[in-house]
Chains A and B, each alone.
Chain A
Protein backbone atom coordinates (compact mmCIF):
# COMPACT_ATOMS: atom_id res chain seq x y z
CA UNK A 1 0.00 0.00 0.00
CA UNK A 2 1.29 3.44 -0.90
CA UNK A 3 2.40 5.30 2.20
CA UNK A 4 2.76 8.61 0.36
CA UNK A 5 0.09 9.66 -2.13
CA UNK A 6 -0.33 12.55 -4.50
CA UNK A 7 -3.93 12.25 -5.60
CA UNK A 8 -3.81 14.84 -8.37
CA UNK A 9 -1.79 13.61 -11.35
CA UNK A 10 -1.88 17.04 -12.96
CA UNK A 11 -2.61 20.70 -12.19
CA UNK A 12 -2.91 23.68 -14.50
CA UNK A 13 -2.67 27.29 -13.28
CA UNK A 14 -2.32 30.72 -14.82
CA UNK A 15 0.97 32.57 -14.57
CA UNK A 16 1.00 34.85 -11.53
CA UNK A 17 -1.58 32.83 -9.60
CA UNK A 18 -0.97 30.45 -6.72
CA UNK A 19 -0.17 26.76 -7.32
CA UNK A 20 -1.08 24.36 -4.54
CA UNK A 21 0.22 20.81 -4.71
CA UNK A 22 -1.04 18.31 -2.18
CA UNK A 23 0.37 15.17 -0.61
CA UNK A 24 -1.10 12.71 1.93
CA UNK A 25 0.70 10.09 3.96
CA UNK A 26 -0.39 7.17 6.11
CA UNK A 27 2.71 6.37 8.17
CA UNK A 28 2.54 8.30 11.44
CA UNK A 29 6.25 7.61 12.00
CA UNK A 30 7.26 9.92 9.14
CA UNK A 31 8.90 13.01 10.58
CA UNK A 32 10.76 14.55 7.64
CA UNK A 33 9.06 15.68 4.46
CA UNK A 34 10.53 16.95 1.22
CA UNK A 35 9.46 18.23 -2.18
CA UNK A 36 11.32 17.55 -5.40
CA UNK A 37 10.95 19.13 -8.82
CA UNK A 38 11.64 17.26 -12.03
CA UNK A 39 12.02 18.63 -15.54
CA UNK A 40 11.87 16.29 -18.56
CA UNK A 41 15.14 14.51 -19.32
CA UNK A 42 16.63 15.58 -15.99
CA UNK A 43 16.91 14.02 -12.57
CA UNK A 44 14.70 15.25 -9.73
CA UNK A 45 16.12 18.17 -7.76
CA UNK A 46 15.49 18.97 -4.12
CA UNK A 47 13.19 21.93 -3.60
CA UNK A 48 12.22 22.38 0.05
CA UNK A 49 11.80 20.32 3.20
CA UNK A 50 10.09 20.45 6.57
CA UNK A 51 10.42 18.47 9.77
CA UNK A 52 7.52 17.45 11.96
CA UNK A 53 8.43 19.97 14.65
CA UNK A 54 7.32 22.72 12.29
CA UNK A 55 4.08 23.37 10.44
CA UNK A 56 5.43 25.77 7.84
CA UNK A 57 8.67 26.40 5.98
CA UNK A 58 9.29 29.12 3.39
CA UNK A 59 11.93 29.58 0.75
CA UNK A 60 11.26 32.46 -1.58
CA UNK A 61 8.18 31.72 -3.67
CA UNK A 62 7.86 28.23 -2.21
CA UNK A 63 6.14 27.40 1.07
CA UNK A 64 5.48 23.95 2.48
CA UNK A 65 2.71 23.42 5.05
CA UNK A 66 2.45 20.36 7.27
CA UNK A 67 -0.74 19.26 9.01
CA UNK A 68 0.29 16.33 11.19
CA UNK A 69 -3.17 15.57 12.52
CA UNK A 70 -4.49 15.23 8.97
CA UNK A 71 -1.28 13.57 7.71
CA UNK A 72 -1.23 16.09 4.91
CA UNK A 73 1.34 18.41 3.41
CA UNK A 74 1.10 20.95 0.67
CA UNK A 75 3.44 23.01 -1.46
CA UNK A 76 2.40 26.55 -2.35
CA UNK A 77 4.08 28.41 -5.19
CA UNK A 78 3.34 32.13 -5.30
CA UNK A 79 3.41 33.64 -7.84
CA UNK A 80 3.56 30.78 -10.32
CA UNK A 81 5.84 31.19 -13.32
CA UNK A 82 6.01 29.25 -16.60
CA UNK A 83 9.43 27.93 -15.53
CA UNK A 84 7.72 26.18 -12.63
CA UNK A 85 6.10 23.77 -15.09
CA UNK A 86 7.47 20.39 -14.05
CA UNK A 87 6.58 17.21 -12.18
CA UNK A 88 6.61 17.63 -8.41
CA UNK A 89 7.22 14.71 -6.05
CA UNK A 90 6.64 14.73 -2.32
CA UNK A 91 8.70 12.40 -0.16
CA UNK A 92 8.88 11.40 3.50
CA UNK A 93 11.22 9.60 5.85
CA UNK A 94 11.25 8.13 9.34
CA UNK A 95 14.21 9.84 10.89
CA UNK A 96 16.77 12.14 9.35
CA UNK A 97 19.07 9.36 8.20
CA UNK A 98 16.59 6.98 6.67
CA UNK A 99 15.52 6.48 3.09
CA UNK A 100 12.77 8.44 1.43
CA UNK A 101 9.37 7.17 0.35
CA UNK A 102 8.11 9.03 -2.71
CA UNK A 103 4.63 9.93 -3.89
CA UNK A 104 3.58 9.34 -7.48
CA UNK A 105 4.10 12.92 -8.63
CA UNK A 106 1.92 15.80 -9.86
CA UNK A 107 2.52 17.46 -13.21
CA UNK A 108 2.19 21.24 -12.88
CA UNK A 109 1.55 23.32 -15.98
CA UNK A 110 1.79 27.09 -15.62
CA UNK A 111 0.20 28.87 -18.56
CA UNK A 112 1.51 32.28 -19.68
Chain B
Protein backbone atom coordinates (compact mmCIF):
# COMPACT_ATOMS: atom_id res chain seq x y z
CA UNK B 1 0.00 0.00 0.00
CA UNK B 2 1.22 3.48 -0.83
CA UNK B 3 2.09 5.69 2.11
CA UNK B 4 4.56 6.18 4.92
CA UNK B 5 6.10 3.17 6.62
CA UNK B 6 7.70 3.41 10.05
CA UNK B 7 9.76 0.78 11.81
CA UNK B 8 9.74 -0.45 14.49
CA UNK B 9 6.19 -0.06 15.82
CA UNK B 10 7.23 -0.57 19.44
CA UNK B 11 10.55 -0.31 21.23
CA UNK B 12 11.77 -0.37 24.82
CA UNK B 13 15.21 1.09 25.51
CA UNK B 14 17.30 1.44 28.60
CA UNK B 15 18.58 4.89 29.52
CA UNK B 16 21.74 5.61 27.57
CA UNK B 17 21.06 3.16 24.73
CA UNK B 18 20.91 4.35 21.15
CA UNK B 19 18.55 3.51 18.36
CA UNK B 20 17.39 4.65 14.94
CA UNK B 21 13.77 5.00 13.91
CA UNK B 22 13.28 4.32 10.22
CA UNK B 23 10.81 6.03 7.89
CA UNK B 24 10.20 5.49 4.19
CA UNK B 25 7.63 6.95 1.81
CA UNK B 26 6.72 5.83 -1.69
CA UNK B 27 4.76 8.88 -2.87
CA UNK B 28 7.75 10.73 -4.31
CA UNK B 29 7.23 13.55 -1.80
CA UNK B 30 9.99 16.11 -1.39
CA UNK B 31 9.36 17.00 2.25
CA UNK B 32 9.56 14.71 5.27
CA UNK B 33 9.07 15.31 8.99
CA UNK B 34 9.51 13.75 12.42
CA UNK B 35 7.03 14.57 15.20
CA UNK B 36 6.54 13.38 18.74
CA UNK B 37 3.26 13.21 20.57
CA UNK B 38 3.13 13.07 24.35
CA UNK B 39 0.02 12.42 26.48
CA UNK B 40 -2.20 15.50 26.60
CA UNK B 41 -0.03 17.33 24.13
CA UNK B 42 -0.21 17.98 20.46
CA UNK B 43 2.25 17.14 17.74
CA UNK B 44 5.68 18.68 18.27
CA UNK B 45 8.09 18.91 15.37
CA UNK B 46 11.52 17.42 16.00
CA UNK B 47 13.24 17.77 12.62
CA UNK B 48 12.20 18.18 9.04
CA UNK B 49 13.69 17.85 5.58
CA UNK B 50 12.30 20.14 2.91
CA UNK B 51 14.07 18.22 0.17
CA UNK B 52 16.65 15.51 -0.34
CA UNK B 53 19.98 16.64 1.09
CA UNK B 54 18.58 19.21 3.53
CA UNK B 55 17.53 18.93 7.16
CA UNK B 56 16.44 21.54 9.69
CA UNK B 57 15.61 21.66 13.38
CA UNK B 58 12.06 21.89 14.55
CA UNK B 59 10.60 22.81 17.92
CA UNK B 60 12.19 20.06 20.05
CA UNK B 61 15.44 18.84 18.37
CA UNK B 62 17.61 18.30 21.46
CA UNK B 63 18.73 14.70 21.91
CA UNK B 64 17.96 13.73 18.30
CA UNK B 65 19.72 13.58 14.97
CA UNK B 66 18.32 12.88 11.53
CA UNK B 67 19.50 11.65 8.16
CA UNK B 68 17.75 12.14 4.82
CA UNK B 69 19.28 9.11 3.21
CA UNK B 70 17.58 9.64 -0.16
CA UNK B 71 14.27 11.01 -1.35
CA UNK B 72 12.36 8.06 0.13
CA UNK B 73 13.98 7.65 3.54
CA UNK B 74 14.29 9.89 6.59
CA UNK B 75 15.67 8.38 9.79
CA UNK B 76 15.64 9.68 13.36
CA UNK B 77 18.43 8.71 15.75
CA UNK B 78 18.54 8.84 19.52
CA UNK B 79 22.21 8.72 20.50
CA UNK B 80 21.73 8.33 24.26
CA UNK B 81 18.11 7.72 25.16
CA UNK B 82 16.58 9.44 28.19
CA UNK B 83 13.24 8.78 29.96
CA UNK B 84 12.05 12.19 28.72
CA UNK B 85 12.16 10.75 25.20
CA UNK B 86 9.43 8.25 26.01
CA UNK B 87 6.80 9.18 23.45
CA UNK B 88 5.02 8.20 20.27
CA UNK B 89 6.98 9.23 17.21
CA UNK B 90 5.35 9.97 13.87
CA UNK B 91 7.00 10.38 10.52
CA UNK B 92 5.20 12.28 7.76
CA UNK B 93 5.76 13.35 4.19
CA UNK B 94 4.19 15.99 1.97
CA UNK B 95 4.04 17.72 -1.35
CA UNK B 96 2.11 21.02 -1.28
CA UNK B 97 1.24 20.55 2.38
CA UNK B 98 -1.28 23.37 2.47
CA UNK B 99 -3.45 21.73 -0.16
CA UNK B 100 -3.13 18.00 0.41
CA UNK B 101 -1.62 17.94 3.87
CA UNK B 102 0.84 15.51 5.34
CA UNK B 103 0.66 11.74 5.06
CA UNK B 104 1.59 10.24 8.41
CA UNK B 105 2.99 6.86 9.30
CA UNK B 106 1.33 4.74 11.97
CA UNK B 107 3.86 5.71 14.62
CA UNK B 108 6.57 4.20 16.81
CA UNK B 109 5.79 3.85 20.52
CA UNK B 110 9.08 4.27 22.37
CA UNK B 111 9.57 3.66 26.08
CA UNK B 112 12.84 4.55 27.77
CA UNK B 113 13.32 2.97 31.20
Q: Which chain A residues have a beta carbon within 8 Å of chain B's beta carbons?
A: 6, 9, 31-32, 34, 36, 41-46, 49, 51, 89, 91, 93, 95-100, 102-105
Contact = CB atoms under 8 A, between A and B. Distances in A.
A96 B98 contact: yes
Given A43-B90, A44-B90, A102-B43, A96 B99 contact: yes
B35 to A, nearest CB: 8
Contacts, number: 70
A99 B54 CA distance: 14
Nearest to B58: A99
B106 A51 contact: no
B97 to A, nearest CB: 5
Given A89-B42, A89-B43, A105-B42, A100 B106 contact: no
A97 B90 contact: no
Nearest to A102: B43
A40 to B, nearest CB: 10
B104 interface: yes
A34 B101 contact: yes
Given A32-B99, A93-B98, A102 B106 contact: no
A45 B104 contact: yes
